[in-house]
Amino acid sequence: MPAFERDGVKALENSRHTYSLTPLHDVVRNWQLRVASAPAVDAYTDSGRDESGFVALEDVLGNRQ
């Protein structure tokens, strides 16, 4: 989980400077959505469809910064 740790450390540092827990809440919320969508992504990948393109997660969830 290096990506989660990296995001968490960055949010924690941001929280220290702003005195707000919002960045930490945003990281947790973002990762909850990623984990919740993992089974759907696995099912799509296992279906054998050829997907040569992709959609960035930020395009789906919107910019949270």
Cα 27 from Cα 33, distance rounded (Å): 10
Query: For the chain, what is the mean pLDDT?
Result: 84
- pLDDT tens-digit profile of 35-60? 888 888 888 778 877 666 777 777 77
Query: What residue segments make up the domains of the chain, in order of their start?
Result: 1-31
- How confident is the model at residue 64, as a pLDDT? 64
Q: Is the full-model pTM beyond 0.85?
A: no
The type of residue at 63 is N
Cα 23 from Cα 15, distance rounded (Å): 6
